Structure 1
């Protein structure tokens, strides 16, 4: 099963640090000699080589120049940026509000032919109603203490729903039954959201499965994750967004998704669980 995404990000940082360390060693330089050439304290070199401090673009350029390997600068900067984007705290992403990240997700959906989603905590954005999205994003903004642009963020989030109806996109979604029972917003908001799920369930672009409370677990409940084609997986934790592009890890998430699907019910049985949740609210 998938390893901790944060540990995967740390492993990537260590791999980058080792590349820089090997570059120094191949140049025949000690840590102190490299530090002198770069014009910084030796402690900084130690932190970078241990993966404790992320090097900036300027740091990498200075490092490569000091080692006589300026031709590797561009590749190492690209690698460092990819590592930096693997594990990004929500407060950093939302420092100017939530609209931008919603627009970024729009682009991911626009480019992907098939999107596989497992959610244990909320209805996915492309299935959300305006009131449900507003209640959810309002609670996130309040919790994080980030700038309030909820109205704009909701509009950007709801724009994704167009791909349910156009462009030949496919959405294969697995929801834990808890998602149907959780109260996000007031009862009227939840009722409207659940009825909207019934509306999208028959769409040709949608395969919606629900994992019942009573299903024997072959995979434990996981953090919500999105697999875009076979190229990119996004994992959402309480504090961060993790972007995974390593083929082996993406394959692990595909495998987890396939096993979660064996626990889910579809079609009429999934509809029955949604209708049961509606009756509870009304």
Structure 2
């Protein structure tokens, strides 16, 4: 998503230059830039600054388009957030920052191939995840406060008109986050929350036919407004109709591979049996 957005901005800048009848070298000379700068901007090798865009539009006689392009630049800049930048003041802040989004969203769709997602996590599971993150990234120790905030956020399961559709890969039920005792409690909690009217939990079996789609990155869809995609180094936020549609289609494909209801419960119970040896 991020690279596509950068390329779209670069293409638009090139179109403006071509429509103005300017060569790349002429535009660079008029702007007082190095002769290679225009090429780098048009091939998204370098991102423009807001001032670069304003200068570009002024010299191309397209000043009326500058504000829109600067807004696009801001959108691109805010699509990617590094965990390092977000967590510099602690893990509690990260948990608190997303509360407004969760509270105002009515339909939340989550897919995870890595771990049981936040709304369904037990205190022990949350604490194990956050403490591992703190140690790995050498953050200040506010795990107790961050755990409390994440637990409080789970109120959306029980209050209001929120609806959750959650898909898990079966392998997620086997990952011993926090150790066997923590995982056992977590799996039993899954069996409990599956009965909530606000929750639809689907599990994609290990032996499901994956010909159409392999396991993909963890993502969260908030109504038809925003999708957040998590990676090791940070997360991407997508808000364009095209991005939303792409993940909507992906969620649909994954849903068709998943089992629900009694069959899903059987898979969780089986994971418990395997854990117990």
Instruction: Give the TM-score taking structure 1 as reference length.
Output: 0.85
Query: Can you list the C-alpha shifts for 1:15-48, whole angstroms capped at 9, x where unaligned?
Result: 1012122223333444344334444433333322
1:148 and 1:80 mapped to 2: Cα distance? 35
- Could you tell me which residue of structure 2 aligns to residue 187 of structure 1? 180
- Could you tell me which residue of structure 1 aligns to residue 56 of structure 2? 63
2:59 and 2:144 mapped to 1: Cα distance? 50
SS at match of 2:197: coil
SS at match of 2:108: strand
SS at match of 2:208: coil
Match among 71, 89, 94 for residue 87 of structure 2: 94
Does the 8 Å CA contact 1:91/1:146 hold for their aligned counterparts? no
For residue 123 of structure 1, report the CA deviation from its aligned partner: 0.8
Establish whether residue 129 from structure 1 lines up as the match of residue 117 from structure 2.
no
- Could you tell me which residue of structure 2 aligns to residue 153 of structure 1? 146
2:173 and 2:149 mapped to 1: Cα distance? 23
The 5 Å alignment of 1:170-185 reads 170-185=163-178
| Distance change >3 Å, CA 63–CA 138, structure 1 → 2 | farther
SS at match of 1:262: helix
1:117 and 1:53 mapped to 2: Cα distance? 34
- Could you tell me which residue of structure 2 aligns to residue 112 of structure 1? 105
Match among 67, 77, 91 for residue 70 of structure 2: 77
Q: Which runs of 5+ in 2 are unaligned?
A: none
- Could you tell me which residue of structure 1 aligns to residue 223 of structure 2? 229
For residue 80 of structure 1, report the CA deviation from its aligned partner: 1.1
Deviates more, 1:33-42 or 1:9-18: 33-42
1:262 and 1:178 mapped to 2: Cα distance? 17
Report how many residues are paired: 275
- Could you tell me which residue of structure 2 aligns to residue 5 of structure 1? none
- Could you tell me which residue of structure 2 aligns to residue 272 of structure 1? 266
Match among 20, 23, 34 for residue 27 of structure 1: 20
1:47 and 1:197 mapped to 2: Cα distance? 51
- Could you tell me which residue of structure 1 aligns to residue 233 of structure 2? 239
2:93 and 2:190 mapped to 1: Cα distance? 26
Instruction: Give the TM-score taking structure 2 as reference length.
Output: 0.87
For residue 149 of structure 1, report the CA deviation from its aligned partner: 4.3
Establish whether residue 139 from structure 1 lines up as the match of residue 132 from structure 2.
yes
CA RMSD of aligned residues (A): 2.5
- Could you tell me which residue of structure 2 aligns to residue 261 of structure 1? 255
Query: Can you list the C-alpha shifts for 1:174-206, whole angstroms capped at 9, x where unaligned?
Result: 111111111111222212222222221111100
- Could you tell me which residue of structure 2 aligns to residue 219 of structure 1? 213
1:51 and 1:183 mapped to 2: Cα distance? 42
1:101 and 1:66 mapped to 2: Cα distance? 42
Does the 8 Å CA contact 1:134/1:150 hold for their aligned counterparts? yes
Match among 210, 220, 225 for residue 203 of structure 2: 210
SS at match of 1:214: coil
Q: Which runs of 5+ in 1 are unaligned?
A: 1-7
Deviates more, 1:30-39 or 1:214-223: 30-39
1:80 and 1:107 mapped to 2: Cα distance? 25
